Amino acid sequence: MIDASASQAPRRRLHRAARFRGAGLFSGKAVQLSVHPGEPGRGWCWAVGRAPAIALEPQHLCPRPRRSTLFDKPTGCLAQVPEHILAALVMLDVDDCTVRFRNGEAPLLDGSALPFVRGLQAAGIAGPRRPWTLRVEVHWQGRDVCWWGGTTPARARTFISAQEARKAGGLGSFPGARPGCALVFGRQHSSRYGGRPRLRDEPAWHKLADLLGDLGAHRARGRLTGLLQATAPSHSSNPELIEQALSTGSLRYID
């Protein structure tokens, strides 16, 4: 629920809908996703297919192995791999929107949030740019990365080790995998599947992007401020980590 004072402040919304098409990593099917301007003051909503949109809430986060998932028990609506579009909405500081998953899974595209950021920017975002007061720090496998506004984490692709990829039958466990959709580490930590790394410490940055995506279930109801720190974050541990940061006051909603 959005309070009256929040709805009176200028809010950031899309000028028009942004649409995305691609393969679903887990379903292997052609899938579509669209992001609409949404209702002013309502925050972020989501929907699957033609179902009515519902307000996105933290309890909708329902992590599965290697991805996040949104699930609404009363309606049975389920959307897989929402984390990259939600991360893009966090990074672009959008206040109101409706995300519609046409086929129950977001397209993986290049495995990063960058195509979503670009698509949302191309649709245009109305509303004031505001100073960032939210800081997110991630420690992952001896690497530290820190985000304090901007879209750098969007460039980082999802990743898998070459060993894991072999175990998965040459990415056969991921029927929607396409060349260029992930960073695959070889012996020299170079990519054999998706080209050369885009960023120094790209996997740590991707972990941060995924954390921002999970944080989106909270950002849905209002802007956040403070500090969120994570060591080896994962979709399974992120919801509890975020709840804990909110309960200690390290992370807070801006009134």
Of 48-56, 90-98, 134-142, 204-212, which segment contacts Zn ion by CB under 5 A? 204-212
Matching residue, tokens 């309960």: 247
CB of 213 to Zn ion, least distance (A): 7
CB of 255 to Zn ion, least distance (A): 31
CB closer to Zn ion out of 98 and 158: 158
DSSP string of the chain, one letter each residue: ---HHHHHS---EESS-EEEEEE-TTT-SEEEEEEE---TTS-EEEEETTSPPEE--GGGB--BTTB-EEEETTTTEEEE--HHHHHHHHHTT--BEEEEESSSB---TTSSSHHHHHHHHHH-EES------EEEEEEETTEEEEESSSSGGGGPPPEEEHHHHHHTTTTTT-TT--TTSSEEE-TTS-BSSS-S-SSTTHHHHHHHHHHHHHHHHHHTTS-EEEEEEEES--TTTHHHHHHHHHHHTSEEE--
Matching residue, tokens 């992370």: 251
- 220: number of CA atoms within 13 Å, CB side? 24
CB closer to Zn ion out of 53 and 85: 85
Number of residues that bind Zn ion (CB under 5 A): 2
Give the pair of three-digit tokens for residue 157.
Answer: 């692709």
Of 5-13, 129-137, 138-146, 208-216, which segment contacts Zn ion by CB under 5 A? 208-216
CB of 249 to Zn ion, least distance (A): 28
CB of 232 to Zn ion, least distance (A): 15
Binding status of residue 98 toward Zn ion by CB under 5 A: no
In 3D space, the residue among 46, 51, 76, 48 whose CA is nearest the CA of residue 213 turns out to be: 46
The single residue among 95, 96, 201, 210 that binds Zn ion, judged by CB under 5 A, is: 210
CB closer to Zn ion out of 95 and 110: 110
Name residues contacting Zn ion, limited to 122-181 (CB under 5 A). Answer: 158
- Distance CA(74)–CA(89), nearest Å, equals 25
Of 52-60, 145-153, 194-202, 209-217, which segment contacts Zn ion by CB under 5 A? 209-217
CB of 92 to Zn ion, least distance (A): 17
Binding mask 12-41 for Zn ion (x = CB under 5 A): ------------------------------
CB closer to Zn ion out of 6 and 136: 136
Of 102-110, 179-187, 202-210, 231-239, which segment contacts Zn ion by CB under 5 A? 202-210
CB closer to Zn ion out of 110 and 210: 210
Q: Which residues of this chain interact with Zn ion, rule CB under 5 A? A: 158, 210
